Amino acid sequence: MRFAVAWALVLFFLAGPVLADQPSVAIAIKGRAFVPSELEIPAGTKVKLVIRNQDEMPAEFESSQLHREKVVPGGGVIVLFVGPLAAGKYEFFNDFHPASRGHLIAK
């Protein structure tokens, strides 16, 4: 039992640096557009997307390729995780304003 508790503590303290190294990118929604509209992310790595809606109206971050769909309230922030992704270009859009599009480029 003591060994299991000690092992759990070791894993807990080792996980901190691993989680801290996880890449994070920020995307704003401003004037119904994604800013920036293209972002490079590392291929083969889980990435944290922080999406901040600077508009008063809600928006919906959606991507068929990334299998993500989430409403971002006006003035709100959401966090999504994607990946690890193979190298390539992945489209996302605002489902409430489909002309607003962007891309994650995994390299």
> What kind of fold does domain 22-106 have according to CATH?
Immunoglobulin-like (2.60.40)
Extents of the domains making up the chain:
22-106
Residue 1: what pLDDT?
A: 59
Q: How much is the mean pLDDT over the chain?
A: 88
Q: Is the pLDDT of residue 80 over 90?
A: yes
Rounded to the nearest 5°, which phi and psi values hold at 33?
-115, 150
Give the per-residue pLDDT at 22.
Answer: 82
pLDDT tens-digit readout, 19-30: 557 899 999 999
Query: Is the model more confident about 7 or about 90?
Result: 90
Task: Report the pLDDT value the prediction gives residue 93, as an integer from 0 to 100.
Answer: 97
